[in-house]
C-alpha cells in the first residue's frame, strides 16, 4: 500500500506510511570506432520498486469483544517475523509469547484480573521479511481489551480455600496439571469445569459427596501458585463439599454453586472487611486483585464460619451456629405486628458499638433511644442490645433485641459471631438442623 493510505484491521485504523519510488537509473556510453564512426549513448530504463511496511493483518479476539479471563491473544502480521518479539501488557500479566511465522500469541499463566482493561502494545520497528526484503512496523500498535467478569464458581472455590465459605474445595487429579502447575506455562482450565454441591438435606458427615478416585489429597490452597497473577481466574476441576456436619437446613437451601447467592455475598463482605475494602458484597476488580493476593500469601479467614438463627414462632431465641456446632443461645425479641422482622437470610453490612436509634413506632410515636452493640443486616433491622424487663417475644420495631450483656459478648467476641458478612436467618421454623 502506498501514498499514505490506511488499512482497517479488526475494527482499528492502522496508519501506513507512504513509500516513495526508489530510482535506479544510469547511463552507458559506447566508444567510437577507430574508423571514425560515431558512438551512440544509451540510457538504462528507469525502474521503480515499492516497499510496503509491516502491518497487523488480524487480531483474535477482536478488541471490541470481551477478553476471556484465561483467553489467549493472537496477532497476525502481514509478513513472517524475522526476530523474537515481546509486546507488553498493561497491567502486567504473567504468561509467555509464542511465535510462528507471521503469528504471535500470548498465553496467560493464570489469567487476567476480571473486569479490568488490558492494553497490549506491540513495539515500533519490529522486523519481518517480505519478498526477500526486510520490512518494519512503522509505529507502535496498541490493542485495548475489557476483560470479562469473573465466574462465580471460581470465586466460590477461592473463598472456600480461604475458609470464607463453609466448603472444602477438593481439586481433581486433572487439576494438578491443568491449573495448579500454571507457573510452568501450562494451559489454564476451561471455564466449563464444574464443581458439585449437595442438596439441601443436611449432611451427617464432614463431606456430602464421596471423593472421586481421581481426587488428590493435597489441600487446594497449598497447591495454588504463590504468585498472584499466576493463579487461575477460571474454574478449576474439582468438588465443593460442606466442610462441617450438622448444616442448618436454611443455610443448605440458600446455596447454589456457580451462581450469585447470599452465602457468596456474605463471604465477599467478610473478606472485604478483613482486608480494608468497602463492604458491599460486590466481587469487583479490587476484590479479585486482593483475593488472588490473599490466596498467594495463604491469608485465610481469621474467624470460624458463623451463622445466626432467629425464630419468630413460640418463645423467640437467637442461636449461633459456628463451624458445625451450636455454641450459644439467647432469648431475643423480634418486631411487633405492623413492624415485624422480615423473614429471610441477610448478611451483616454495618456495625456500631453505640448509637442513638431513631424511628417511628407502629402507633405513630417518634422515638430516639440509645442502643448498643449493633449489627445491621436488613435495611434498618439490626441485632443489638436493648434493656427490657423480659425477652422472648415480639417487642421491637423490626430489630432483633438481645439482653445487653449477650449482645456485648457477640459483638466483641474474637470469634466474630455477628461480624461483617455473617448471615442472619430470620425464620418461623425451629432453630435446628
Catalytic site positions:
384, 399
Residue pair 10/27 in contact by the 8 Å Cβ criterion: no
Q: Are strands 306-311 and 317-322 parallel, antiparallel or unpaired?
A: antiparallel
Burial of 6 by CB count in 10 Å (0-12 exposed, 13-18 middle, 19+ buried)?
exposed
Furthest CA-CA distance within the chain:
142
C-alpha grid cell for residue 390?
423480659
Q: What is the DSSP letter of 420?
A: T
Residue 114: count of CB within 10 angstroms of its CB: 23
- The residue ranges of DSSP E strands in 199-254, in sequence order, are 238-242
- How far apart are the C-alpha atoms of 257 and 195, rounded to whole Å? 7
The DSSP symbol for 37 reads P
Q: What is the dihedral of CA 367, 372, 373, 379, to 10 degrees?
A: 10
> If we measure between CA atoms, which residue out of 320, 295, 296 comes closest to residue 306?
320
Judged by DSSP in three states, 177 sits in helix
Distance (Å, whole) CA 168 – CA 162:
10
Cα torsion through 105, 107, 113, 115, rounded to 10: 40
d(CA 249, CA 356) in angstroms, rounded, equals 36
Residue 282: CB atoms within 10 Å: 13
Burial of 360 (0-12, 13-18, 19+ CB in 10 A): exposed
User: What is the Cα–Cα distance from 118 to 92, expressed in whole angstroms?
Assistant: 9
Of residues 365, 421, 415, 355, the one with CA closest to residue 385: 355
Return the closest-CA partner of residue 264 out of 298, 248, 287: 287
Render the burial of 392-406: b for 16+ CB within 10 Å, e for the rest: eebbbbbbbbbbbeb
Amino acid at each position: 500500500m502506498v501514498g499514505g493510505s490506511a488499512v482497517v484491521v479488526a475494527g482499528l485504523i492502522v496508519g501506513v506510511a507512504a513509500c516513495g519510488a526508489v530510482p535506479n537509473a544510469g547511463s552507458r556510453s559506447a566508444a567510437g570506432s577507430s574508423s571514425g564512426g560515431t558512438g551512440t549513448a544509451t540510457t538504462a530504463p528507469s525502474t521503480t520498486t515499492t516497499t510496503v511496511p509491516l502491518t497487523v493483518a488480524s487480531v483474535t479476539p477482536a478488541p471490541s469483544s470481551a477478553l476471556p479471563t484465561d483467553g489467549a491473544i493472537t496477532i497476525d502480521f502481514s509478513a513472517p517475523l524475522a526476530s523474537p518479539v515481546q509486546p507488553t501488557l498493561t497491567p502486567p500479566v504473567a504468561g509467555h509469547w509464542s511465535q510462528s511465522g507471521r503469528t504471535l500469541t500470548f498465553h496467560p499463566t493464570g489469567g487476567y484480573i476480571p473486569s479490568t482493561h488490558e492494553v497490549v502494545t506491540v513495539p515500533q520497528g519490529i522486523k519481518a521479511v517480505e519478498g526477500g526484503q526486510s520490512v518494519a512496523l512503522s509505529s507502535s500498535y496498541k490493542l485495548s481489551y475489557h476483560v470479562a467478569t469473573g465466574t462465580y464458581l471460581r470465586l466460590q472455590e477461592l473463598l472456600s480455600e480461604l475458609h470464607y465459605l463453609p466448603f472444602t474445595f477438593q481439586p481433581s487429579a486433572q487439576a494438578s496439571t491443568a491449573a495448579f502447575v500454571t507457573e510452568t506455562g501450562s494451559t489454564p482450565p476451561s471455564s466449563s469445569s464444574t464443581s458439585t454441591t449437595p442438596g439441601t438435606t443436611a449432611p451427617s458427615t464432614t463431606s456430602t459427596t464421596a471423593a472421586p478416585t481421581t481426587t488428590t489429597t493435597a489441600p487446594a490452597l497449598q497447591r495454588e501458585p504463590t504468585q498472584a497473577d499466576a493463579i487461575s481466574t477460571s474454574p478449576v476441576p474439582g468438588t465443593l463439599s460442606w466442610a462441617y456436619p450438622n448444616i442448618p437446613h436454611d443455610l443448605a437451601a440458600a446455596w447454589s454453586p456457580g451462581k450469585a447467592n447470599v452465602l457468596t455475598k456474605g463471604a465477599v463482605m467478610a473478606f472485604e472487611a478483613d482486608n480494608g475494602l468497602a463492604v458491599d458484597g460486590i466481587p469487583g476488580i479490587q476484590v479479585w486483585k486482593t483475593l488472588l493476593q490473599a490466596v498467594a500469601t495463604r491469608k485465610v479467614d481469621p474467624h470460624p464460619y458463623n451463622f445466626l438463627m432467629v425464630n419468630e414462632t413460640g418463645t423467640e431465641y437467637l442461636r449461633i451456629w459456628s463451624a458445625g456446632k451450636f455454641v450459644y443461645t439467647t432469648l431475643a425479641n423480634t418486631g411487633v405486628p405492623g413492624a415485624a422482622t422480615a423473614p429471610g437470610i441477610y448478611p451483616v453490612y454495618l456495625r456500631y458499638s453505640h448509637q442513638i436509634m431513631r424511628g417511628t413506632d407502629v402507633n405513630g410515636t417518634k422515638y430516639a433511644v440509645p442502643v448498643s452493640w449493633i449489627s445491621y443486616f436488613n435495611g434498618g433491622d439490626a441485632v443489638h442490645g436493648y434493656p427490657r424487663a423480659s425477652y422472648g417475644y415480639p417487642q421491637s420495631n423490626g430489630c432483633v433485641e438481645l439482653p445487653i450483656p449477650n449482645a456485648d459478648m457477640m459483638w466483641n467476641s474474637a470469634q466474630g459471631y455477628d461480624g461483617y458478612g455473617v448471615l442472619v436467618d430470620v425464620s418461623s421454623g425451629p432453630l435446628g438442623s
